[in-house]
Amino acid sequence: MEFSSVFFIIFFLPVSVIIYYLTPAKYKSYVLLGISSVYCGMISIYLLVLVYALITANYFLALKIEKSSGKILYIISLCLNIILLTALKTKPILSLVMPMYSQNIFLPVCVSFFMLEFIGYITDIKNEKIFAEKNYHLFALYILFFPRFLMGAVTSYQDFYIFSKRPRINLSILGRGLIIFIKGLSKNIIIGRYLYPLWNIVKETEPEKLSALSAFLGISAFIFSFYFCLSGILDMSAGISCCFGYKIPHDFDHPFFTSGLSDFLSRWHINTVKWFREYIFNPLKKISGTLASVSAWVLIGLWYELSWNKLIWGLILGLALSLERFAKFRNIIYTLAISLISWKSVRPAGLADFFA
């Protein structure tokens, strides 16, 4: 169920907000978990069962990891989550788990987000950054929280915990959330979806009849339509979260107004990049900065999609970032050129479904 759908805007969101606001404070987290479970179940009952199975497994594993002084259980938990993340992003496995919904492009994306949160959660417990959550429903809410369930943003449990204990709600916050939601809806519908047809026209033009200017405009329309569509969805997510008294970080910060590739990428899918920086780049940079950069971006590419295209995309960006740091070269034209060419050559599979 997309945030821009008529059913969601006219029925699901208003009813959910009314029920939540009428619920006594001590029961709000339970009600919100129920609403989130209904939302997930409306997408796919198979997905709901799968997510609860993973929540239960990671909940008990986290409690055991906290009590255990060894690393064996953590390594086993980590491997299981990585294997599941990889398996659930492949169509054959996804079609076995959710046969009726395997063609839905949002499901692999959804799996990508909550599996990162599982891995980050057990890693933080192992590193003694946080304590394992004893309340099952709060941990389940962390994963299932419906405003960010499908498209993120990736949020650490430490950040989510603050709001789950004492959400801030009043009419002023509700109004602010609705304004953010409308802003995101406008970006998604008015800008993102109206730019995409320009790319389609250029794509269908025969190469010998295509001028350099038309090709550039087509590629630009592609990347900007993707940006406004995706950032619009994440703005809607932030707005809905605000309506329920939760604050989730924005995932985009005007990435096209930067003068360097590293700055551009640090403003694109901010929380996902932050996750890979903390759990992949920082441990590997002690060995080699170039190795850390390339490895992190290759894994980000494969996280988006398990394909050779995304592997090459990550490799290009990882090497370009290393070269930028080595040469200390920053230029907005160079940044846009690398961004446009790399995204065009490895465009996200099923992007047209965003604009259906």
- Percentage of the chain modeled with pLDDT above 70: 85
What confidence tens digit (pLDDT) does each residue in 76-91 have? 899 998 888 888 777 7
The pLDDT tens digits for 199-244 are 778 777 877 777 777 877 877 787 788 788 888 888 899 999 999 9
Residue 321 has pLDDT above 50, yes or no: yes
- Residue 167: phi and psi, rounded to 5, are -65, 140
Rounded mean pLDDT of 3-10? 88
**What distances in angstroms separate CA 267 from CA 261, 264, 349, one per listed residue?**
10, 5, 22
Residues 242-269 have pLDDT tens digits of 999 888 877 877 777 777 777 777 787 8
pLDDT score at 178 = 92
Distance separating alpha carbons of residues 49 and 55, to the nearest angstrom: 10
269: region left, alpha or beta (phi > 0 left; psi from -120 to 50 alpha): left
CB 229 within 8 A of CB 192: yes
Q: Does residue 183 register a pLDDT over 70?
A: yes
pTM comes to: 0.85
- The answer to which of 92-96, 99-103, 306-310 has the lowest mean pLDDT is 99-103
For the cut 50, the answer to whether the pLDDT of residue 139 exceeds it is yes
CA 144, CA 291: separation in Å to the nearest integer?
34
How far is it, in rounded angstroms, from Cα 348 to Cα 109? 11
The predicted pLDDT at position 221 comes to: 81
Q: Which of 54-63, 102-111, 169-178, 296-305 has the highest mean pLDDT?
A: 54-63
Q: Which range has the worst mean pLDDT, 23-37, 87-101, 249-263?
A: 87-101
Given this model, what pLDDT does residue 35 score? 95
pLDDT at site 356: 45
Cα 70 from Cα 65, distance rounded (Å):
8
pLDDT tens-digit map of 263-273: 777 787 888 88
Which of 97-101, 122-126, 306-310 has the highest average model confidence (pLDDT)? 122-126
pLDDT at 52: 94
What's the whole-number mean pLDDT along residues 292-308?
A: 85
Predicted local distance difference test score (pLDDT) of residue 140:
94
Name 268's bridge partners. 252
* Residue 341: per-residue pLDDT: 63
Q: How far apart are CA 171 and CA 37, in angstroms?
A: 25
Burial degree of 191 (CB within 10 A; 0-12, 13-18, 19+): middle
Cα 152 from Cα 271, distance rounded (Å) = 9
What is residue 301's predicted lDDT score, i.e. its pLDDT?
Answer: 84
Residue 76 CA to residue 118 CA, distance in Å, equals 13
Task: Point out the least confidently predicted range of 45-59, 79-93, 326-340.
Answer: 326-340
What value does the mean pLDDT of the chain take?
A: 82
Q: pLDDT-derived band of residue 354, with 50, 70 and 90 as boundaries?
A: very low
Least trusted range by pLDDT, from 91-95, 165-169, 296-300: 91-95
Q: How far is CA 163 from each of CA 29, 121, 167, rounded to the nearest angstrom?
A: 10, 17, 5
Query: Residue holding tokens 């929280």?
Result: 145
